[in-house]
Amino acid sequence: MPSNNLGICFPALRPVIPMQKTTDNLFLKYAAPGILGLHPYIPGKPISELEREFGISDSVKLASNENPLGASPKAKAAVTTLLDELARYPDGGGFDLRAALAEFHNIEAEAVTLGNGSNDVLDLIARTFLAPGSEAIFSEYAFAVYPICTQAVGATARVAAAHDGVTGARFGHNLKAMRALVSEKTRVIFIANPNNPTGTWLAKDELLEFIDSVPANIIVVVDEAYTEYVEESAYPDATQWLKPYPNLIVTRTFSKAYGLAALRVGYGLSHPDVADLLNRVRQPFNVNALALAGALAALHDHKHIEQSVAINRAGMTQLTAGFKGLGLDYIPSVGNFICVDVGRLAAEVDDQLLHKGCITRPIGGYGLPQHLRVTVGLKDENQRFLNALESVLK
């Protein structure tokens, strides 16, 4: 299994369900070098798969950081109006959504790159700026897509050790360690704020100082997929730094707080010249018409976002109180998920939880074999999970 310079195995490079062994693949010698060690990304188990596999019903999914409140009612209505237009191609440039995002962020539309989820934008960045012989930097415990897209294009991953809890939040990005890895080969630096799966975050002054220290020829990506959930006063909005730092790209998504995960729509904000390059690589019609309409409507549904954040705040309090009651340690999180140390192999606990109809996410592949990542759900869903966890641990 491929590993980084810390000797930590990339989580996304594990095999998913039974698949042909690499050594048996007849086309192995024809594949690009970066593809050889890759396996498909492992998503959270769908409810339908769990219930089909175990013959159970009424399951709870707390594995994929989805919004338990669901999609914006305005987004649902917008999508419905397009059902008679399914035979038509979408607007390949996403004019209306790009214009709305430009107004929302007070930038020009030429600075917006649309993606099939923000994952697509991250992949566009890698394909645009990384190549064999170049390097990408990201943190230990960072989002699994960073190593996937880096290796897929044949670039080298340089992974900085996370904070140990002495000089910074344990498991969080250590920007000094990341800065120390910068070399003449560095082309892209990925920073998740807040980070998935740990839920840790970087304060404004620290992050801005880091970006300011990076050479202007290196692309700095600040991944803000969970930004809507953060309620810390020192948490920054990196989109405010786009003009003074033309090498900065900020990525966001409609899959989390906006509740549109099924539609797959995200975006990147950058200097127009950077966006121009990304859009040269971007596939035509990469965002479908339903996604464009749903995202446009959801962007202005402030009430739905407020309700989603309130539910998340209450659910996070419920889960952390439950963990304390069970005597379990957890990683403080500002996202809509939290990692809890179950005191034993989390994969085994997860398997037992599945039999009780609760889907969570073991993160041993990230180097945290005793941690489960749990999405904050509705009150009843959280309680059902806590009850099941208590039963399993006993």
Domains of the chain in sequence order: 44-70+303-393 (3.90.1150.10), 73-300 (3.40.640.10)
As a whole number of angstroms, the distance between CA 67 and CA 349 comes to 24
Examine the pLDDT at 16 and tell me if it is beyond 60: no
> What amino acid is encoded at 214 in this protein?
V
- Through-space distance between the first and last CA atoms of the chain, rounded to whole angstroms: 34
pLDDT band (50, 70, 90) for residue 323? very high
Handedness of CA 129, 133, 134, 137 (dihedral sign): positive
| Rounded mean pLDDT, 264-289 | 96
What pLDDT, on the 0 to 100 scale, is given for residue 57?
66
What pLDDT, on the 0 to 100 scale, is given for residue 72?
92
Which of the residue ranges 5-14, 142-151, 298-307 would you say has the lowest mean pLDDT? 5-14
Sequence-separated (6 or more) residues with CB below 8 Å from residue 170: 162, 163, 164, 331
Examine the pLDDT at 232 and tell me if it is beyond 70: yes
What pLDDT, on the 0 to 100 scale, is given for residue 62?
95
What pLDDT, on the 0 to 100 scale, is given for residue 25?
77
Examine the pLDDT at 66 and tell me if it is beyond 90: yes
pLDDT tens-digit profile of 350-379?
999 999 999 999 999 899 999 999 999 999
What pLDDT, on the 0 to 100 scale, is given for residue 28?
74
| Rounded mean pLDDT, 52-61 | 74
As a whole number of angstroms, the distance between CA 14 and CA 294 comes to 34
Backbone φ, ψ for residue 304 (5° rounding): -65, -40
Examine the pLDDT at 11 and tell me if it is beyond 60: no
| Rounded mean pLDDT, 169-188 | 97
**176 vs 12, higher pLDDT:** 176
Examine the pLDDT at 17 and tell me if it is beyond 50: no
3-state helix, strand, coil in the chain (%, to 5): 40, 15, 45
pLDDT band (50, 70, 90) for residue 48? low
pLDDT band (50, 70, 90) for residue 252? very high
Mean pLDDT of the chain: 91
| Rounded mean pLDDT, 216-231 | 98
Nearest alpha-carbon partner for 207 in 249, 246, 167, 173: 173
What pLDDT, on the 0 to 100 scale, is given for residue 184?
97
pLDDT band (50, 70, 90) for residue 59? confident
Nearest alpha-carbon partner for 153 in 171, 126, 176: 126
**63 vs 46, higher pLDDT:** 63
Question: Over the range 197-229, which residues count as b (16 or more CB within 10 Å of their CB) and which as e?
Answer: bbbbbbebeebbebbeebeeebbbbbbbbbbbb
Percentage of residues of the chain with pLDDT beyond 90: 83
Per the CB < 8 A criterion, the answer to whether 13 and 147 are in contact is yes
Tell me the residue ranges of DSSP E strands in 15-144: 60-61, 112-115, 135-139
What pLDDT, on the 0 to 100 scale, is given for residue 31?
76
pLDDT tens-digit profile of 119-177?
999 999 999 999 999 999 999 999 999 999 999 999 999 999 999 999 899 999 999 99
> What amino acid is encoded at 187 in this protein?
R
Which of the residue ranges 60-64, 173-177, 211-215, 369-373 would you say has the lowest mean pLDDT? 60-64
Examine the pLDDT at 5 and tell me if it is beyond 60: no
What pLDDT, on the 0 to 100 scale, is given for residue 117?
95
Examine the pLDDT at 37 and tell me if it is beyond 80: no
What pLDDT, on the 0 to 100 scale, is given for residue 1?
36
The burial of 291, by beta-carbon neighbours within 10 Å (0-12 exposed, 13-18 middle, 19 or more buried), is given as buried
| Rounded mean pLDDT, 296-314 | 97
What pLDDT, on the 0 to 100 scale, is given for residue 6?
46
**12 vs 240, higher pLDDT:** 240
As a whole number of angstroms, the distance between CA 301 and CA 290 comes to 17
Q: Strands 368-375, 361-363: parallel, antiparallel or unpaired by DSSP?
A: antiparallel
